[in-house]
A and B are shown apart, each in its own frame.
Chain A
Amino acid sequence: DTEVTQTPKHLVMGMTNKKSLKCEQHMGHRAMYWYKQKAKKPPELMFVYSYEKLSINESVPSRFSPECPNSSLLNLHLHALQPEDSALYLCASSFGQISYEQYFGPGTRLTVT
């Protein structure tokens, strides 16, 4: 398996809901990433996990809560989001955090109503 998979593909949620995004890879990668991408804009890094430990948090609001239960799985828990949080959320992985290319998933299109 040489792909990063993300579920769901689309998600619509209200501002009071709690939902989770899921990312999975079986390439033996030990670094995993969450990015946020607004329309016609580049991806912006949110979090980096290295060997299942949070390595980088780009000052993301606490309504986004990442979790890395094991080396193959990365979750992003969402709670009390705002409409401006609507975006494409991309997951990526790499063999290591340093000097390795990142492989991207197809993304989850999130709409907050």
Chain B
Amino acid sequence: AQRVTQPEKLLSVFKGAPVELKCNYSYSGSPELFWYVQYSRQRLQLLLRHISRESIKGFTADLNKGETSFHLKKPFAQEEDSAMYYCALKENAGGTSYGKLTFGQGTILTVHP
């Protein structure tokens, strides 16, 4: 079965420091990976998807199939980046769960001034 692991529940950094939120996955097929973000009192929203390979709000994430990882990185964290971040995997291998999105447990990022 598919699984998404975010090993850090909490991550604290100072403004201007680099930040890396870790995500590892297990999936037998070819995965589609996403990062979603939930700011305080706001709805869950898409931050990145691996197939688009773009940078949003200075964040990037590279899919490493060898290490089954999809870590989220930003070179200089800002206070407004403080939020809950979820890594998510979409099943693309067919079967009854085709298209299902499975979330990791989430990492709360706090950026201190």
A residues neighboring B (CB under 8 Å) = 31, 33, 40-45, 48, 50, 55-56, 58, 90, 97-99, 101-107
What are 15 inter-chain pairs, A to B, with CB distance below 8 A?
A: A33-B101, A41-B106, A42-B103, A42-B105, A45-B100, A48-B99, A48-B100, A56-B97, A58-B100, A98-B92, A99-B51, A101-B49, A102-B46, A102-B101, A104-B45
Q: How many residues of B contact A (CB 8 A)?
A: 22
Q: Contact check, B99 vs A97: say whether CB atoms are below 8 A apart.
A: yes
How far in angstroms is the closest Cβ of chain A from B33?
Answer: 12
Contact A56 B96 (CB under 8 A): yes
Query: Which residues from B are CB-within-8-Å of A44?
Result: 103
Instruction: Assess whether A107 is in contact with B97, with CB atoms less than 8 Å apart.
Output: no
Known A-B contacts A56-B97, A97-B98; A42 and B86 likewise in contact (beta carbons under 8 Å)? yes
Instruction: Report yes or no: B98 in contact with A98, Cβ–Cβ below 8 A.
Output: yes
Give complex CA distance A79, B46 in Å: 32
Smallest CB separation, B66 vs chain A (Å): 23
Decide if B34 is an interface residue (CB 8 Å cutoff): yes
Residues of B within 8 A of A41 (CB): 105-106
Determine the residue in chain A with the shortest Cβ distance to B6: A42
Q: Which of chain A's residues have a CB closer than 8 A to the CB of B99?
A: 31, 48, 50, 55-56, 97-98
Contact bitstring B27-68, A, C-beta under 8 A = 1, else 0: 000001010000000011110010100000000000000000
Minimum Cβ distance to chain B for residue A95 (Å): 12
Contact of B104 among A40, A42, A90 (CB under 8 A): A42
**Those of B63-113 within 8 Å (CB) of chain A:** 86, 90, 92, 96-106
Extra 10 A-B pairs, beta carbons < 8 Å, given A56-B99, A104-B43: A33-B101, A40-B106, A41-B106, A42-B103, A42-B105, A55-B99, A102-B46, A103-B46, A104-B44, A104-B45
Please, how many angstroms separate the alpha-carbon atoms of A41 and B49 in the complex? 21
Min C-beta distance of B105 to chain A, whole Å: 6
